[in-house]
Structures are given as C-alpha cells and as structure tokens.
Amino acid sequence: MSAIEDLTAELAKLPGIGRKTASRLTFFLLKQPPGAAESLAGAIQRVAERVNLCSTCGNFSEGDPCSICTDTRRDRGTVCVVEEASDIEAIERSAEFRGLYHVLGGHLSPLDGVGPDELRIDALRRRLENGSEVREVILATNPSMEGEVTATYLRGVLARAGLKVTRIALGLPIGGDLEYADRVTIARALAARTEMAE
C-alpha cells in the first residue's frame, strides 16, 4: 500500500470521516508548506506518548495526578462525576464549577456488557471513604436513558454520613450528549442542581 493510500485509510478510521473526506484531508496535507504535516504527526505522537489517565480522577493528563487534582485553588469538597474525560472539558468551559472530577469511563449498559465493575465506581467509593474531605458528589452523567440509570445506581451506592449527592439539573435536552452542549446550558444546569432523595 502506498503512503498516500495508507494515510487515507488511517484517516478514514476517525469518527465522522468517510473515504472521500479522508482522501481530501490527505491531499490537503500534501499541499501544505513543509513542516505542516510533520507538525500534525508530532502532535499526535506526543499525545500518544505523554498523555495517560490520572490515577485519582481518571482524566487524561500529562502528569499523575492531573493538573485539576493537584490545583490547590479548587474546592476539594466537591466531586463532579462524568461519563467521559471529554465531558470535563465541556464543564470547564462553563466556568461554573471549581471542584474536582471523577471519570467513570462510560455508563451502565447491561446489553453491552457494561456493569458497575466495568466503570471506575470502586475508585470513586475509595475517594469518598471515611476521612475524605468530600462533602458533595455531583452526578453529571449524560441526560440520556443510560446516564439516568447510572446516576440512579450511583445514588444508591454512594451512601455516607454527611455526604450530599446531587444530580446536574436537566436543563440539558434528554437524549443529548453532554460533550456537545453549549456552555450556557451547562452553566445553568450546574447552578440549578438538586439534591437526590435516597
């Protein structure tokens, strides 16, 4: 396989990029000034080499713990639970939240074989054990069927004296995806969060 066909095939593996778009991107890169394609290749390589999961919160990070977990200006009494690391970026853009995060790595989905053991729920429980300074857990799983089920499940297992468990307000449209919500909607949903009944 030639280098051009090889790159087109690699690009076509990306989500939302079909064969024609992959071919167009390949020729775009070929027509760039020297260094442009190398710069993109280098950026991908660096992400692959340097970025790992934060062992505390599960966020993608170049250090461990990540820059959010080690930020002393953030409120260590609040942990926002999200499905994916990409959701953190969306919430950070809203500038409404100054606490810490916990990435589950997905949502409960029995039909796909994703039960509680497949998510980072044990790690979350360890963060909340006696002696922890966490006072509130905000459940910010997606406003979808699976996200709701996951939030309800977590509400059931995250019991501890003095711990408040809240659900991000459903100002987000049901059936949507948190990652693509606009920042105003996210900010409003965070501000209007409500406590979950046990």
Of the two residues 27 and 194, which places its CB atom closer to a second copy in the complex?
27
Which residues, 53 to 112, sit near a second copy by CB under 8 A? 60, 62, 84-86, 89
Minimum distance, C-beta of residue 132 to a second copy, in the bound complex (Å): 28
According to the binding rule CB under 8 A, does residue 16 interact with a second copy?
A: yes
According to the binding rule CB under 8 A, does residue 190 interact with a second copy?
A: no
Identity at 116, one-letter amino acid code: P
Residue among 10, 71, 122, 195 that touches a second copy (CB under 8 A): 10
Residue among 18, 30, 112, 173 that touches a second copy (CB under 8 A): 30
**SS3 of 165, please?**
strand
Give CA separation, 189 vs 27, 88, 96, 167, 169, in Å: 43, 14, 10, 9, 4
HEC string of 19-84? Answer: HHHHHHHHHHHHCCCCCHHHHHHHHHHHHHHHCEECCCCCCEECCCCCCCCCCCCCCCCEEEEECC
Task: Tokens for 107, please give them.
Answer: 């949502």
Of the two residues 34 and 113, which places its CB atom closer to a second copy in the complex?
34
According to the binding rule CB under 8 A, does residue 163 interact with a second copy?
A: no
- Contact positions vs a second copy (CB under 8 A): 2-4, 6-7, 9-11, 13-16, 20-21, 23-30, 36-48, 50-51, 60, 62, 84-86, 89, 179-180
